[in-house]
Each structure stands twice: as structure tokens, then as C-alpha cells.
Chain A
Amino acid sequence: MAFLEISGLRKSYGDHEVLRGIDLAVERHQVICLIGASGSGKSTLLRCINALETIDAGQIGLDGEVVSGAGVDVNLLRRDVGMVFQSYNLFPHMNVIDNVTLAPIRLGGLSREQATAKATALLERVGLADKAKAFPDRLSGGQQQRVAIVRTLAMEPRVLLLDEITAALDPELVAEVLGIVRQLAAEGMTMLLATHEMGFAREVADTVCFLHQGSLLEMGPPEQIFTEPAEERTRMFLKSIIAAGRL
């Protein structure tokens, strides 16, 4: 059994079926990129894995344990499965260090000193140690997203879900965020990322999955998906991406 195993996952909002039976297996230390048009279900899939959305059918397993369905302690699950969002979602009423240490202190059982030391070390790694006392509205988008990643990492998740984390950034700020993801990939973090950065997906992904209208239409190693996709839909999608100058 794979480390993260999703089978037959279905999710509807009213009459609209967003995910139509997704099967996906992620091994430890794998980096999986989800690509596809807006509305294809990438974000919903990630939110389902994090239990931010309830699922209608199917099952999610993590490290041999079933983590979906009634009675699951989602708060415990979420400490294993970290998530970073497109719009950073830093807490605007707290400075950077408080953003990062809130969960480790309240949930992780760390003392303030321990949590601060840990947070400072993480902030140093992403080059933001000097911003510890700054409030989010004083940071650039790229800096905010780096803090958001650090905030998630501070809980030491076993899987990281990244939901289009560079989509809201100005182009010149994308690189600083992707650099961190690249570093995490190199260190062996298991990651699932929805992204529009095709070049990046090609570089870091072990597997690329193409979603179309709630179905996982095609998956494979990046070289195959990007150079000789089997599905007509995938070809059309990549064509439009190339036309937009994003590949």
C-alpha cells in the first residue's frame, strides 16, 4: 500500500460533480504535480485530502491508516498533512513569529522558547529571519508565501499539499517561493502540488497528473506528459499553455 492512497474519491457541490472518482497513490518522498485547467478539481482534491471538504464517496489512506469518513479526528490528520494556500492566508493580526509559533505552542506542546527557536531556524532557512517581528501587511507576496510555508513546516507534516502557491504572486517573486519547494523536494518531503508553473512541474515532479473535469485523465513521468501525452485533452491543454507562453 502506498504512503498516501486515494481511491474512488468523489465530491459534489449540489448537482455539480467536482471530482468523479479519483484514484491516486503517492509514495514516500514522491513529488506529484497536479495540472489542469481552472475548475478541473485540483484544489478540491487537495482540500479533500486535508479534510477541509467532506468527501461523498471513496477513501483516503495515510501510512496504512484510513483517514477519511466518519469519526476520523481531522485535527490529528491535519497535523500530518500540511497545506499551503494560493492566497498565503497568514493571520494578519499576528507578526511573523507568532504566525509560525501559534500551532506548535498550542497544539504541538512546545514551550514558547522552543517554538521560537524552531521558527527562527526555519525562517533563517528561507531568508526571512530579519522579518520575525514584521506583520504580514508589511511583507511582499513572495515573503508572505515563504512565511506561510514555514508556518506549515513548523508542525512537521509528513505530507505537504501546495495549492497553486505561486498563482497570486507577481512574476518576479515566483522564483523565491519555488526555490523553497525545490529544496524541500531535494530533502525528500512528500508533496502534492497543484500548479500552473509547467516548467517547474517538469523539473521537480516525479509524476505529473492531468485533471480534466474532475477526472484524472492521464498521469506519468513529466517527460512523457509534456512531450508525448497520450490523451487528446492533455495535448490541447498543453497547447493552450504554450500559446500563453507558460511552458
Chain B
Amino acid sequence: MTETAQAAPRATAQPVPTPGRGPALIGLAAATIATADTWAVTATVFEAAAGGWRWVLGGAALAGAAAVLLVYRPALDAWRSSGRCAASADPVERRALAARARESAWTASGLAFAVLCALALLVFVLANDAAVQRTFLQSELIATSALDIVRAFGTNLFIAVVAQALVLVWGLVLALARLAPGRVGRPIRALAIVYIDVIRAVPAIIVIYLIGFGLPIAEVPILSGLSQTWYAILALTIVYGAYVAEVFRSGIESVHPSQVSASRSLGFSHLATMRHVVVPQATKRVIPPLLNDFISLQKDTALVNVIGTIDAFNQAKIFSSNHFNLSSVTVVAALFILITIPQARLVDRLIARDKARGA
């Protein structure tokens, strides 16, 4: 390097920040707004919340209001860092402190924004003299209906678990049919494609309706004598078999053709190759998307109310029409949330595990 090159400042030289309180002030302002709003809403909650909710909601609001003070932590850190930045003479340290002040200020602002969003929801619930709360969250009706609804939810779980087991088998059969090889397999392939296309095109609720009301009228031997619950299981198996078939197919097709070559070259037939080599590898890969379909299946068990099966939703509807209030339906929603979220997290974990293994 020449002397002149060293002397001239480069265009890309790292800047030394001029210390300023700007970001820190924004962070502090955001924290203050969030806190003030929280306390205001807390006061409203105490006044507005009716009946049994008064102390539950009020207590929660109070705890929330206390927790909101935590927004001040990053805000104050931003303030302190910018102060130290101004006092420092070392350009490298100043740069680091300025960066820290900025990051802390943004953290505080982000937290404050999240708090304000949560408050907006709370204000909505309390709007119109807590009408929303009384419509959806009436504590008396929740208390009276909960036990019956939980019992009826057992029907949803039964339908879901049996249908899932049947769907696994039916979906795999359809996937293998869709992948039947050669000229001989063509009619079977065509049949599978038509089934999958048609069934995926028809809304699940219509399939349930047609089977639940149609089969008893049609008086088909054996099939017409089933109970409502089994009609629901049959309908959901028919519908979700089509979706799961596509999941299995994608898994089977993702197994490298060289695996098939290796198995066939040992003397295994097409079906034996599927059984011993391809399907075991495919199944492992499709577990996450399979669980996703299972979660939708569980939720679609609520559709069976259209054919009169007494599931949780139907039970809740009976309560809500007797009491002119939707709080019993909220209970059903809560039950679905309760069983679905752990499964959604499990799917995420499985996907993360597969990624880690692939890396």
C-alpha cells in the first residue's frame, strides 16, 4: 500500500457515531404510552366487567398492568447506553454502545406495540358496556354447559381417531393405486385420479350431508344401518382419504428412483419394492404434512352437526339457543384450541428435526 492511499480517507471507512438521545427517547415514549394505556384499560375492566368475570378479568388486567412495566427495561437500557456512548472517547466502544442503544430502543418500541394490540382486543371485548364479553364469555352459561359439552366432545374425539386410522389405510391404498405402473396400471391410475379430484372438489360438509341423510334413505344393505357417528366417520374417511393420498404420493415420489433400481435389481417385484423399500421411507418423510391433515380432520368433526350427531358443537348450539347466548359455543372453540395447539407445535418440532437431520 502506498503512503497516499493510506492518507486519503476511504469512502467505505466506518463512521464514528455522534451520540444522541433520539432512539432512547422514542423507546421511553413507547413504554410510557403502553403503560398509561394499560392502567386506563385496567380501571375500565374493574368498572365494566360483570358477574363472575369481575375478579378474574380484573385480576388478569392488574397482573398485565404490572407486567407492562417490563417494557421500561429495554427503554432504560437504551437511555443508559446512549449516555455512556456520549461519555466515551473510544470510537469502537462508542459504536458498540450506540448500536446497543438503538437495539434496546427498538425492543422497547416493539414490546409497546404488542401491548397496544392486546389492549385493543381487550377494549373491543369491553365495548358497549361489555356487550361483547356478555355475548361470548358469560360465566354462568359457561359453567352450566361446560360438563355436557366436554362429554359430547368425546364423540368428536372418537370420530377423529377412528377416521384417522381408516384414512391412513385408505390414503395409502389410493396413493399406490395412483402410482400403479405401466399400461396395466393405467385404468387403476385413472380411477384413483378421478376419485381424488372429485372428492377434493366437493366441500366436506356436503359429503357428510349426502352420506348422513342419503344412505339411510337409500336403504343399502349394511351401510344404511349404521349410526350417525359411523356415517360421520365414513364421510370424513372418504374426504380425507383423498387429501392423504396426495400426501403419501408426494412422499413416495420423493424417494429417489435409485432406491427402486436397487430393490428391483435384487429381484423384488414392484409391490414388494413399495412395501419394503419405498413406503417405509416415504411414510417417515410425510409425517408432518400428514399430521397437518389430521388436525384439519379433527376440526372438521364439528361439521357432523349438520346430520344431527350430538357432538360438542351441536350440544353447545342447544345450550346457546336455549339461553340466547353464544358462550357455550366459545367452550367448544376453547376445547378445539386445547387439543390442536399441542399438535401444531409437535408438527413444527418434527419439521425442525427433519431439517436438522437433512443438514
- Main secondary structure on chain B at its contact with chain A? helix
Q: Assess the A85–B267 pair: CB atoms within 8 A.
A: no
Interface string of A75-113 (1 = CB under 8 A from B): 110110111010101111100000000110011000000
Report the count of interface residues on A (CB-CB < 8 A).
26
Which of B62-70, B75-83, B108-116, B275-283 contacts its partner?
Answer: B275-283
Interface 1/0s, chain B 274-318, versus A by CB < 8 A? Answer: 001100110010000000000000000000000000000000000
Is A40's beta carbon under 8 Å from chain B? no
Judge whether B54 is part of the interface by a CB distance below 8 angstroms.
no
In the assembled complex, the Cα of A152 lies from the Cα of B265 at a distance in Å of: 9
| A78-B264 CB under 8 A given contacts A87-B258, A102-B276 | yes
Residues of B within 8 Å of A, CB-based: how many?
17
> With A52-B261, A85-B262, A87-B258 known to touch, is A93 a contact of B281 (CB < 8 Å)?
yes
Is A122 on the interface with B (CB-CB < 8 A)?
no
The distance in angstroms between the C-alpha atoms of A90 and B265, with both chains bound, is: 12
- Closest CB-CB distance, A98 to chain B, in whole Å? 10
Known contacts A91-B259, A93-B280, A106-B276; is A78 also within 8 Å of B269 by CB? no
Q: Please name all residues of chain B whose beta carbon is closer than 8 Å to the beta carbon of A11 when the two chains form the complex.
A: none
Asked if A75 contacts B258 (CB within 8 A), the reply is no
Whether B359 sits at the interface, judged by CB under 8 Å, is no
Is A50 at the interface (CB under 8 A from chain B)? yes
Chain B: minimal CB distance from A156 (Å) = 11
Decide yes or no whether B170 CB sits under 8 A from chain A: no
In the complex, B230 has a CB within 8 A of chain A: no
- B280: chain A residues at CB < 8 Å are 93
- Indicate if B5 sits at the interface (CB-CB under 8 A): no
Determine if A155 is an interface residue (Cβ-Cβ < 8 Å).
yes
The list of the 8 closest CB pairs from A to B, nearest first, reads: A89-B262, A83-B265, A103-B266, A79-B267, A78-B267, A89-B258, A75-B267, A107-B267
Interchain residue pairs with CB less than 8 A apart (18)? A50-B265, A52-B264, A75-B269, A78-B266, A78-B267, A79-B267, A85-B262, A85-B265, A89-B258, A89-B261, A89-B262, A91-B259, A91-B281, A93-B281, A102-B266, A107-B266, A107-B268, A151-B266
